[in-house]
Structure 1
Amino acid sequence: MHFKRAEPADVDRLVDLVQSAYRGDASRAGWTTEADLLDGQRVDADMVRSAIEQSTVLIDDDGAACCQLERRDGYAYFGMFAVDPARQGQHRGRSLLAEAERYARDEWGAGELRMTVIVQREDLIAWYVRRGYARTGEVSPFPYGDERFGRPRRDDLAFETLTKKLG
């Protein structure tokens, strides 16, 4: 599997990919769905365009998986991770996560990769833990009222920070 940096021409494809992996009935074909937690959009074209312009968005060679990496003070942040629900279970996500870790370490010299995951997603958190990520116990609130991130179906959503030392 090969990866490249996404370009502005990839915006629409990436919006569709991320949306299909997390929201609506299409997302239920995979295990990463948030459809029981949130309605509405996960990302829009402006958000993806901004990510491509201001950070690094990696995409696999056939457009079935993507992620975003941001350089931050002392670490790299991992987000916008999505795999086409019809192609989940083929190690695409695992391969892309490994590439993101390599990229952050080798290209930026980052010693740590951090991410946030909705605390109610115990299955997803467990998947990251099996790949060497540690739960920090650091919890931040969900951005209720900002429909750019979706419309919550429950009132107790929050994010937990996970971290992994690179190198």
Structure 2
Amino acid sequence: MDTPAARLTFRDATDADVDALVALIESAYRGESSRTGWTTEADILDGQRTDPEGVLAVIKSPDSRLLTVERDGEVVACCQLEHRGAHAYFGMFAVSPALQGGGLGKVIIAEAERHAREVWGAREMHMTVISVRNDLIAWYERRGYRRTGETTPFPYGDERFGVPRRDDLEFELLVKPLA
């Protein structure tokens, strides 16, 4: 049986992965290619989702790892994990749009949570999600994350994070206990 976890390889990203990871993240969130999947932000943001400098900064950070997921030698997903003491931060999560909806995301988030809990001893996983992304927040809630109501402003005017198509964007903190 070919499960979503079959033939997957999890590894830390290297400098050589930057271009492939930027292309993956952009394809999952921006532009027409992102509409193939369900995680698109194309209706609320134009411009870039990340850039080579941002991806490289995560790779080089001593408290982070950019978990890269390959299937049959091809990069198909990634996520950032950052050790922040008693909790870990989960971000920069992207699954190839053509593979979304098949269970791959569930496998990856479970591996990220396992790593944070078993390797770092983190008791909680934190993430921020754009608060108007109701479908995405509901997906995380089904995985055990809860909305905190704690928000931070969207960085309007900083095109490294995209060009907003609306004026009501903010990030909401979601938290899941890992113990």
Q: In structure 2, what is the equivalent of residue 50 of structure 1? A: 57
Equivalent residue pairs, number: 167
Q: 2:87 aligns with which of 65, 75, 78?
A: 75
Higher helix share: 1
8 A Cα contact 2:85 2:122, kept in partner: no
Ranges in structure 1 where 5+ consecutive residues have no aligned partner: none
Normalised to the residue count of structure 2, the TM-score between the two structures is 0.91
Partner of 2:29: 22
Whether 2:131 is the aligned partner of 1:119: answer yes
Any gaps of 5 or more consecutive residues in structure 2? 1-7
- Using the size of structure 1 for normalisation, the TM-score is 0.98
Contact 2:86 2:121 in 1 (8 A): no
Tell me how far apart the structure 1 counterparts of residues 38 and 70 of structure 2 sit (CA, whole Å).
22
1:36 lines up with 2:43 in the alignment: yes
Question: Are 1:91 and 2:91 an aligned pair?
Answer: no
% of aligned pairs identical?
A: 62
Secondary structure of the residue aligned to 2:56 is helix
- CA drift at 1:12: 0.3
Partner in structure 2 of residue 6 of structure 1: 13
Distance 2:105 2:10 in 1: 12
Name whichever of 72-81 and 115-124 sits farther off.
72-81
Aligned structure 1 segments of 4 or more residues deviating by more than 3 angstroms: none
Q: What value does the CA root-mean-square deviation take over the aligned residues?
A: 0.8
